Amino acid sequence: MTAVAPRGRVFTGVRLVILVAFVVVFLIPVYVLLVTSFKPLTEADPGQAWNLPVTWTAEAWRVAWEKLAPGLWNSVLLAVPGSLLSCALGSMNGYVLSKWRFPGADVLFTLFLFGMFIPYQGVMIPLVQLLVGLNELTGLQGVFYGGIPGLVLAHVVYGIPICTLIFRNYYVTIPDELIEASRVDGAGMLRTYWSVVLPVSAPAIAVVVIWQFTSLWNDFLFAVFLTGPQSWPATVMLNNIAGAQATPYSQQMAAAILSSIPTMLIYVLLGRFFMRGLMAGALKG
Amino acid sequence: MRRARTWLPGLLLVAPSIVAIGVFVYGMLGWNFRLAMTDKHDEVSEGTFVGLDNFVGIWDQPRWHLSVDHAIMFTVVFVLGALVLGWFLAFLMEKGIRGEGTFRAIYLFPMAISFVATGIVWRWLMNSGMGERAVGLNRLFDAIGLPQWQWFRDPDWGMAAMALPAIWQMSGYVMALFLAGFRGVPEELREAARVDGCGEWGVYRHVVLPLLRPVTLSALIILGHISLKVFDLIVAVSGKQIITDVPAVFMWVAVFDSHDPAKGATIASYIVLSVAIFVIPYLIWSVRKERRS
């Protein structure tokens, strides 16, 4: 131990320096976002691009908020019910596929998993046609195609694979004896789920809700294909605001931050669960 | 085989999801493929079956070649970049370091942000203006004496620049995967190798690296499938410009601007195939592996 200590300490020092250097690089975009968003229009000239604002102003934030608010609200209407529904479905599926297996459950699970990796472009055109059809069938214009319900439906369905996977991998760790004991007591499948499985599901529920909330909030592809201007979520509105030539950088950056606040908050407050969701994404329980 | 009475309720409970996946995943993939094999090149026509004509014909279009080349360059730079950087960061933290939690949190937070928001900042950073008009990284590089670049507007290397924001966003994830992989290597194995006379490098090469293979494979699959369908980031950074066209953006243009469903479906089919070709073997392999253990 003592013999290697000096070399070890030098190595640790070098590691620390490199890690800190990468922290600086990783935070450059954050610096740009914050600094630019607080600049008045008079300081928009390229020469001052990296400077701190001379006069700090929240004007860009105010304008960005006005433009983005409807989108943020749509995103709430999309992400909250969407993640809760996904959670309910995933929990039931995960329960059955781990504790109440039927013949062919493994094959079915593999077929589900492929749904996690399909590029959604491959289903987009038929999906649009189906939702248009549902609008006509129900007579509800702008609900399925063009509206938030249709978008929620799409996200919940295509979220089934990942949510099932997370719950299944979690439920596998519940001892079979617990389930058996409940069965012996005469409880059926649903009773067992309700009284034995659900009460211990909190960690998996947290992981799934956070994962789904983040993916629904950040989604752009489904939103751009399936929704109309009335129901555009924050990502689409953000892209439109930033894509307009006339929008000053300060407003673009403020809008980008505003749209990221909910997911950033989740990340900061519930990072542990966020991490577990990411790991599940790698097919590792 | 257990009696049906014991497993039937489970099957019923999963049935809605089975139907949903059957219709929305497999049914729609099939529907999309069928559409790609018709000549429905406008919104109103019925479309007759033309076999693989669209799949062959699209290779006559210069824009398709361009978008495929772009996707390949983006994928190579993004996947390798995120993999190497993520591995390197994990390697530096593997043995534990003061402030590890903070480092991890900072490297990982870009994952929580949408590709659209990321694209907006990086469009500013990678602004191609030079000299007096330079903003973003060019202004910074100028100040510290580095050359200025065209970034994503460079006709040859533009897509390599486009991969930078994606690397920024995903390398923290790869780091987390590798860190979990490193920590999963039992200390006794390393110790045994040391006793056998391996130096630290030898231990790393012969013990740790082989055990990291599954993690590396997972990371490759995840990065690869994100890369081949990349859409949001490109749209947010440069919109529909040909210079950064990729299949996913081309498909969007085919559907909404050219109003050509068959062409859109053909491009979409190619995107699906490019992902399926490596994801399907991977899934079968990992399910088999899980069943063995």
Phi-psi region of A142 (alpha: psi -120 to 50; beta: other; left: phi over 0): left
pLDDT at A246: 82
Give the Cα separation of A154 and B25 in Å (integer): 11
A259-277 average pLDDT score: 85
User: Nearest Cβ partner of B275 from A100, A119, A267?
Assistant: A119
Determine how many CB atoms are found less than 10 A away from the CB of residue A68.
22
Determine how many CB atoms are found less than 10 A away from the CB of residue A14.
11
Tell me the fold of A62-281.
MetI-like fold (1.10.3720)
Look at residues B233, B231, B213 and name the one whose alpha carbon lies nearest to residue B221. Answer: B213
B210-248 as b/e: b if 16+ CB within 10 A? eebebbbebbbbbbbbbbbbbbbbbbbbbeeeeebbbbb
User: Nearest Cβ partner of A260 from B14, B97, B113?
Assistant: B113
pLDDT at A244: 83
Give the Cα separation of A219 and A91 in Å (integer): 23
Token look-up 């899980």 returns B290
Domain ranges across chain A: 5-48, 62-281
Q: Is A119 within 8 Å of B177 when comparing Cβ atoms?
A: no
- Does the pLDDT value for residue B2 go beyond 70? no
pLDDT at A280: 64
- Does the pLDDT value for residue B224 go beyond 70? yes
pLDDT at A7: 67
Q: Which residue has the higher pLDDT, B73 or B94?
A: B73
Give the Cα separation of A179 and A181 in Å (integer): 5
pLDDT at A67: 95
State whether residue A56 is helix, strand or coil: coil
Question: Is B226 within a domain?
Answer: yes
What ipTM is given for this predicted complex? 0.90
Look at residues B24, B36, B69 and name the one whose alpha carbon lies nearest to residue B159. Answer: B69
- How many Å lie between the alpha carbon of A156 and the closest alpha carbon of chain B? 10
The number of distinct structural domains making up chain B is 1
For residue A156, name the pLDDT band (cuts at 50, 70, 90).
Answer: very high
Give the Cα separation of B162 and B246 in Å (integer): 11
- Helices B4-21, A59-99: axis angle to 10 degrees equals 150
- Does the pLDDT value for residue A284 go beyond 50? no
- Percent with pLDDT over 70 in chain A: 94
pLDDT at B61: 95
User: Nearest Cβ partner of A126 from B28, B125, B231?
Assistant: B28
Give the Cα separation of B32 and A257 in Å (integer): 37
Q: Is B89 within 8 Å of A19 when comparing Cβ atoms?
A: yes
Highest mean pLDDT among A167-181, A188-202, B65-79, B125-139: B65-79
- Does the pLDDT value for residue B286 go beyond 60? yes
DSSP state of A188: -
Question: Is B282 within a domain?
Answer: yes
- Residues on chain B touching A256 (C-beta within 8 angstroms): 116-117, 120-121
Determine how many CB atoms are found less than 10 A away from the CB of residue A269.
11
Q: Is A22 within 8 Å of B275 when comparing Cβ atoms?
A: no
Q: Which residues pair with B49 in a beta bridge?
A: B38
- Residues on chain A touching B177 (C-beta within 8 angstroms): 279, 282
Question: Is B26 within a domain?
Answer: no
- How many Å lie between the alpha carbon of A23 and the closest alpha carbon of chain B? 7
pLDDT at B187: 86
DSSP state of A196: I
- Does the pLDDT value for residue A4 go beyond 60? no
What is the H or E stretch that residue B64 is in?
helix B62-93
A140-158 as b/e: b if 16+ CB within 10 A? eeebbbbbbbbbbbbbbbb
CATH code, domain carrying B193: 1.10.3720.10
- Does the pLDDT value for residue A73 go beyond 60? yes
Question: Is B53 within a domain?
Answer: no
Q: Is B114 within 8 Å of A284 when comparing Cβ atoms?
A: no
Give the Cα separation of A51 and A53 in Å (integer): 6
Average pLDDT value over all residues in chain A: 90
Dihedral sign from CA coordinates of A54, A55, A58, A60: negative
**pLDDT tens digit string along A84-119?**
999 999 999 999 999 988 888 888 998 998 898 899
Q: Is A256 within 8 Å of B120 when comparing Cβ atoms?
A: yes
B176-196 average pLDDT score: 88
Question: Is B1 within a domain?
Answer: no
Name, in order, each residue with C-beta under 8 angstroms of A136's C-beta and a sequence gap of 6 or more: none
Question: Is B152 within a domain?
Answer: yes
Parent domain of B243: 61-292
Q: Is A114 within 8 Å of B25 when comparing Cβ atoms?
A: yes
Name, in order, each residue with C-beta under 8 angstroms of B69's C-beta and a sequence gap of 6 or more: none
Alpha-carbon distance values, A104 to A107, A171, B7, B68, B238 (Å): 5, 19, 11, 39, 47
Interface test mutation site (partner B, options A12, A20, A72, A125, max chain B beta carbons within 10 A): A125
- Does the pLDDT value for residue B60 go beyond 70? yes
For residue B133, name the pLDDT band (cuts at 50, 70, 90).
Answer: confident
Phi, psi of A142 (to 5 degrees): 70, 20
For residue A285, name the pLDDT band (cuts at 50, 70, 90).
Answer: very low
The nearest alpha carbon in chain A to B178 belongs to A279
The alpha carbons of chain B give a radius of gyration, in whole angstroms, of 24
- How many Å lie between the alpha carbon of A144 and the closest alpha carbon of chain B? 15
Do residues B194 and B54 make contact, with C-beta atoms less than 8 angstroms apart?
no
- Tokens read off for B148: 């200025």
Question: Is B40 within a domain?
Answer: no
pLDDT at A5: 54
Interface test mutation site (partner A, options B37, B75, B116, max chain A beta carbons within 10 A): B116
Question: Is B113 within a domain?
Answer: yes
What is the H or E stretch that residue B253 is in?
helix B247-256
- Tokens read off for B6: 């014991």
User: Nearest Cβ partner of B32 from A110, A126, A264?
Assistant: A126
pLDDT at A3: 44
Q: Is A111 within 8 Å of B129 when comparing Cβ atoms?
A: no
Phi, psi of A227 (to 5 degrees): -115, 155
Q: Is A26 within 8 Å of B113 when comparing Cβ atoms?
A: no
- Does the pLDDT value for residue B55 go beyond 50? yes
pLDDT at B264: 96
